[in-house]
Chains A and B, each alone.
Chain A
Amino acid sequence: MNLTKLAYKNLVSKPLNALLSLLLLVLSIALVTFMLQLSGQVGKNLDRNIRPVDMVVGAKGSPLQLVLSSVLHIDAPTGNIALQEAEALAKNPLIAKAVPVSYGDNYKGHRILGTDTTYLGLYGATLASGSLFQEPLEVVLGDRAYQQLQLEIGDTFVSSHGLAENAMDAHDGHPFVVKGILKPTGTVVDQLIVTPLESIWEVHEHEGESLGHVKEKLDEHEGESADHAEEGPDEHESGEDHREITAMLIKFRNPLGLVQLPRFINENTNMQAALPNFEIQRLLGLLGTGVRTVNAIALAILLVSGLSIFIGLLKAVRERRQELALLRTYGATTLQLLWTVLLEGLFLAVSGFFMGWVLGRLGLWGLSGHTRSAYGYDLTMPMPTATEALLFVCIVLITVLAVFLASLSIFKLNISKILSDE
């Protein structure tokens, strides 16, 4: 029987009181660590994905939608733009890199992105095995796509129309062939199936009617037509280039581009320019209110749990005045009594923190399943971070403070009075 055991016995002798403090602590720690991880990971993820792209040029519509669809690949495209017009723009001396992208099909939920090899350069994607695509209908797989699709180099597959999985409309006549597999980049490229622009045109050639007809068709199903944005016919016989792409990803040569080009494009062409950084900041600004609210709630619960630990210990110290006085007659020093109360508080704090941390990670794990199926993004389960260690230190300090305040009466325990009075 020692003081540590005594502290433990004291704690579990009133399990309901302890349980309330513990629950509050677990809940607040779970919320705080969960929110920290979530906003941290989402922010980092977004940042990695939009950093390589300074500006997106696409069809008119919502600039946020354009960024989400053509940079992050989580929304439907706004429509198509003429390749000719986009290429004319790319000649602007303020532009360092212009990468055409074209999409609209998927294979088992993984988007097929028509582009050229400069796209891979934007994200620093390199081959893990195989070779890059050279001909139309050759593809390279992003790392995640490779792992999930179970396709090997040389395998062929048939894409389905649209961006959602299980689309029934398969392009049977144009099988893709896997030429290479990319190393993991930690960016959106990992999710994609990348192929030359020409593949997209070729796959959709059989639908190649006149441009006017396609426009009509688009107008007919305005709501769902975004998925069909690919239906750009490849009409060479008219002598005019009617080929279309979905968007052009731009890297500026210098900051002047940021100042001049977006306005120029928006005012003088029938395309629109969207700035990923600006749009994402705007989006996070909208979400930020929610995040801040949850954080405030978590902090409030944390305070209440600190208060509950304090009140619990204060009550315990008062109820146990006689026991504490008795321990003094046994020869326990004031510091030893304080230590007993501190241990009791620390048992609560440490176990509460640990359980809360595990709960937070479990929450993240649960959400990760959802984000993977809905957006193709994974949340990682990192080991405890420095911020969490700091949070742990804060909890311990709060507990020490609560114990100290609750135990002030131990210092002026009048043993003779307590033990001789009734």
Chain B
Amino acid sequence: MLRTHGLQFSYPNGKGFRFPDIVLSEGKHLLVLGPSGVGKTTLLHLLSGLLPLAAGSIHIGDTDISIFSRKELDDFRGRYIGAVFQKSYFVKSLTVAENLALRQCFPDKRPDTERMTELSERLGIADQLPKKVQELSEGQRQRLSIALGLIHRPKIVLADEPTSDLDDGNCEKVVGLLKEEASLANANLIIITHDQRVKEMFTDHLEL
């Protein structure tokens, strides 16, 4: 479960954002909607501990991560946060399986091949595991992105504009997979987007 209170972020030049409070009980999904420039991505980076808070608090479970040091944030992020990006990012020198194993090993976990097989089978990329990531098709890349966001059984999955480059059919498929996998892992899913097509797929909305 996730609870934020009075989140604020400031750029060095003094400008900044204030965000409405979020309360999500366990396993719930949330869609954050808003046009460009209202700080959607900033909110996501605050939640994952990549940017420092100017004010406010973030509780995940019973833990207040706003008082964490950088090192603790890195560790926390590795353990509990899964991120899916608009574009697919991988380590190009590694194979699909090695990319997944790399995500599993942070911060100090052992590779879990059972989990890898199970997840990649459900996402339809089990055949692709030994391949280099460059050899994947666009659709396979997206599914690998989702797998990377979920392979380590995170508590919170944060997806930043996961659908903006996709046509209607694929948009629905990707969001469907994200929801399905998050539910299976009993994780909170937060999708941040300006894509109105996604709106009716979620019951909980937050407009920025």
Chain A residues within an 8 Å CB radius of B90: 323, 326
A66 to B86, CA, bound (A): 85
- Please judge, given known A-B contacts A1-B111, A328-B50, A332-B78, whether A415 and B105 are in contact too, CB under 8 Å: no
A333 to B98, CA, bound (A): 20
Do the beta carbons of A330 and B106 come within 8 Å of each other? yes
Do the beta carbons of A331 and B111 come within 8 Å of each other? no
Do the beta carbons of A323 and B89 come within 8 Å of each other? yes
List residues of B (57-95) whose CB comes within 8 Å of A's CBs.
70-71, 74-79, 81, 83, 85-87, 89-94
A422 to B111, CA, bound (A): 31
Pick the interface stretch among B41-49, B123-131, B177-185, B199-207.
B41-49
A25 to B119, CA, bound (A): 45
Nearest CB of A to B131, in Å: 14
Chain B residues within an 8 Å CB radius of A422: 87
Do the beta carbons of B106 and A326 come within 8 Å of each other? no
Main secondary structure of the interface of A (DSSP, over half): helix
The reply on A17 being an interface residue by CB < 8 A is no
A328 to B83, CA, bound (A): 11
Do the beta carbons of B98 and A9 come within 8 Å of each other? yes
* Residue among A13, A326, A331 making CB contact with B77, cutoff 8 Å: A331
The reply on B6 being an interface residue by CB < 8 A is no
The reply on B102 being an interface residue by CB < 8 A is yes
Chain A, residue nearest B99 (CB): A1
The reply on A185 being an interface residue by CB < 8 A is no
A2 to B104, CA, bound (A): 10
* Residue among B50, B76, B98, B104 making CB contact with A329, cutoff 8 Å: B50
A85 to B86, CA, bound (A): 101
- Please judge, given known A-B contacts A1-B101, A1-B111, whether A330 and B78 are in contact too, CB under 8 Å: yes
Chain B residues within an 8 Å CB radius of A329: 48, 50, 77, 81, 83
Chain B residues within an 8 Å CB radius of A330: 77-78, 102-103, 106
Nearest CB of B to A85, in Å: 81
The reply on A322 being an interface residue by CB < 8 A is yes
Chain A residues within an 8 Å CB radius of B75: 331
Nearest CB of B to A246, in Å: 71
A349 to B103, CA, bound (A): 28
Chain A residues within an 8 Å CB radius of B111: 1
The reply on B166 being an interface residue by CB < 8 A is no
Classify chain A: how many residues form its interface, as a range. Answer: 20 to 34
Do the beta carbons of B92 and A13 come within 8 Å of each other? yes
Chain A, residue nearest B76 (CB): A331
A330 to B79, CA, bound (A): 8
Chain A residues within an 8 Å CB radius of B101: 1
* Residue among B70, B71, B91 making CB contact with A323, cutoff 8 Å: B91
Chain B residues within an 8 Å CB radius of A277: none
List residues of B (14-41) whose CB comes within 8 Å of A's CBs.
41
Chain B residues within an 8 Å CB radius of A65: none
The reply on A419 being an interface residue by CB < 8 A is yes
A9 to B101, CA, bound (A): 14
* Residue among B86, B89, B105, B160 making CB contact with A326, cutoff 8 Å: B89
- Please judge, given known A-B contacts A322-B89, A332-B106, whether A9 and B50 are in contact too, CB under 8 Å: no
A329 to B107, CA, bound (A): 11
A366 to B196, CA, bound (A): 76
* Residue among A6, A328, A333, A419 making CB contact with B102, cutoff 8 Å: A6
The reply on A293 being an interface residue by CB < 8 A is no
Do the beta carbons of B78 and A331 come within 8 Å of each other? yes
A182 to B185, CA, bound (A): 84
- Please judge, given known A-B contacts A326-B90, A330-B78, A331-B77, whether A415 and B45 are in contact too, CB under 8 Å: yes
The reply on B136 being an interface residue by CB < 8 A is no
Chain A residues within an 8 Å CB radius of B91: 6, 9-10, 323, 326-327
List residues of A (1-21) whose CB comes within 8 Å of B's CBs.
1-2, 5-6, 9-10, 12-13
Chain A residues within an 8 Å CB radius of B55: none
A322 to B133, CA, bound (A): 15
Do the beta carbons of A9 and B94 come within 8 Å of each other? yes
Chain A residues within an 8 Å CB radius of B208: none
- Please judge, given known A-B contacts A329-B48, A329-B83, whether A416 and B41 are in contact too, CB under 8 Å: yes
Chain A residues within an 8 Å CB radius of B160: 419-420
- A 310-351 to B, binary, CB cutoff 8 A, 1 in contact else 0: 000000000000110111111111000000000000000000
Chain B, residue nearest A326 (CB): B89
Nearest CB of A to B2, in Å: 18
* Residue among B48, B50, B94 making CB contact with A6, cutoff 8 Å: B94
A294 to B48, CA, bound (A): 57
- Please judge, given known A-B contacts A328-B50, A329-B83, whether A416 and B93 are in contact too, CB under 8 Å: no
A-B contact pairs, 8 of them (CB 8 A): A9-B93, A10-B93, A326-B91, A328-B50, A331-B74, A333-B71, A416-B41, A416-B42
Besides A331-B76, A332-B106, 8 other CB < 8 A contacts? A1-B94, A1-B111, A10-B93, A13-B93, A329-B48, A330-B102, A333-B74, A420-B86
